[in-house]
Amino acid sequence: MNEDDSNSIKNFLLSYGLKEEESEKNSDIIIINTCTVRQHAEDKALSFLGSLKKISTNKKIFFIGCAAERLGEKIKNKFPYISYVIGAKSYQKIYEILRNELYLSDHLIQNTFSLNSKISDYQTISRGCNMKCSYCIVPDVRGMELPVPFEKIIGDIKKKAKNGVREIILLGQTVNSYIDKQSSKKFIDLLKEISKIDEIKIIRFLSPHPVFFNDEFFEEYKKNHKISRWIHLPLQSGSDKILKKMRRGYTIEKFKKVVDELRRSDPTTSITTDIIVGYTDETEEDFNLTLAAIREIKFSMVYCFKYSPRFKDKDQLTITNKELEKRHQVLLNEVKKIAKELMYERIGKTEEVLIYSKNKGITISGYNCCIIDCKNMKEGDIYKVKIENVKNNTLYGRAI
């Protein structure tokens, strides 16, 4: 979502004829869009901010996003050269401020400007989150779930489609809980309506929450092949005790039912997940339950995070750092092994591949794919490809 917000701000400035500058030294405006989901992300942003001290004279420095929301104006005590602090909840304010600061007026908009044509693009459909996972700071810094109006989303995607976009990635913290209360349109209505846009070939979404899947979705998934066959479904832990502590709202059985339903609807579905290792009170037994779930469900990829306590007073790390590192490594090894096996199982099968550039693209099941003996395929088209080999996490195949 930050990437999408940064792109919107960038496109806004480009549309007024401003130029993107590689080096901070030569820039008049520096916008730092921050993440605070892990302490490490916030530390990196602050360290970058510190590095700007020597070159900050006569520059407009914007500190925006989730860390800005959390730290607020007091950040200026430490970094007085920041011009504006804009938190994630009020990120839209940046447009007004930029207009005023830069004396931008609409006559400056360059008619020749057009967005960089991309095959794949994001579309934010809601901001914030109504869930209250114990480890997560998102509801605090982004607020309650706020859907983008249905018609606006469809209008934006139509524009992107005209501009060359063929794969749209819907974004929301719990993307499948979307409901526009004005029109009563839900996530499933969005999927159906976007599918009617001819130019859009693949609809992906990040990240769905297991509790918001329902029969209506599975019915549509079965028959609508524009819906991505790669589903990112965050599990976080394989232990019911830990899931409850995390307030995730499901048990491992319930999670497995969603997986089964997805695979029953389409056995080619590739499922990826997130796991937090070493959450408060995670015992060896809990960790082994996570390992067992990984082995049983067989995820195509698992993003493994070492638990990083955000606040000193709650949800502390209850294992040593050495143990945390060990569990993380054990999990990574297992994940890599399974991911590799699953990729090799695709050899001999036919995949649909959306071409990003030359002979490279992405399968509808989410794998990078390289087409052998065919250099100039049409970007944005979908080809059926028979997979022959796997190398460096990429499938290799021939168009048939």
Contact residues: ligand SF4, CB under 6 A = 129, 131-133, 136, 138-139, 173-174, 209
Provide the minimum distance between the beta carbon of 139 and ligand SF4 in the complex, in angstroms, as a whole number.
5
Q: The sheet that has 120-124: what strands, in order across it?
A: 120-124, 167-171, 202-206
Nearer to ligand SF4, 18 or 131 (CB): 131
The nearer residue to ligand SF4, 131 or 347, going by C-beta atoms, is: 131
Q: Quick one: 242 or 355, whose CB is closer to ligand SF4? A: 242
SS3 letters across 270-302: EEEEEEEECCCCCCHHHHHHHHHHHHHHCCCEE
**Shortest reach from residue 26's CB to ligand SF4, in Å:** 37
Cβ–Cβ under 8 Å, residues 63 and 48 = no
Q: Which of 254, 246, 249 is nearest to 275 (CA)?
A: 246
Closest contact distance (angstroms) between CB of 133 and ligand SF4 is 3
In terms of CB distance, is 133 or 364 closer to ligand SF4? 133
Nearer to ligand SF4, 68 or 137 (CB): 137
Residue 334 and residue 302: Cα distance in Å, rounded?
A: 10
DSSP code per residue over 223-286: H-TTB-SEEE---B-S-HHHHHHTT-S--HHHHHHHHHHHHHH-TT-EEEEEEEES-TT--HHH
Q: How far apart are CA 340 and CA 334, in angstroms?
A: 10
Least separation in angstroms between CB 332 and ligand SF4: 21
Alpha-carbon span 116 to 137, nearest angstrom: 33
What's the closest the beta carbon of residue 178 comes to ligand SF4, in angstroms? Answer: 13
Nearer to ligand SF4, 174 or 272 (CB): 174
Q: How far is the CB of 36 from ligand SF4 (least distance, A)?
A: 12
Q: What three-state secondary structure class fits 367? A: coil
Specify the DSSP class assigned to residue 310. -
Closest approach of ligand SF4 to the CB of residue 151, in Å: 26
Minimum CB–partner distance for residue 164 and ligand SF4 (Å): 31
CA distances from residue 192 to 10, 226, 233, 240 in whole angstroms, order as listed: 30, 10, 21, 34
Instruction: List Cβ neighbours of 366 (8 Å cut-off, separation of 6 or more).
Output: 204, 228, 229, 230, 270, 272, 300
Q: Which is nearer to ligand SF4, 161 or 235 (CB)?
A: 235
CA 179 to chain centre: 19
Q: Judge contact between 280 and 308, C-beta under 8 A.
A: no
In the complex with ligand SF4, which residue's Cβ is closer, 200 or 304?
Answer: 304
Q: Roughly how many angstroms between the first and final C-alpha of the chain, as a whole number?
A: 36
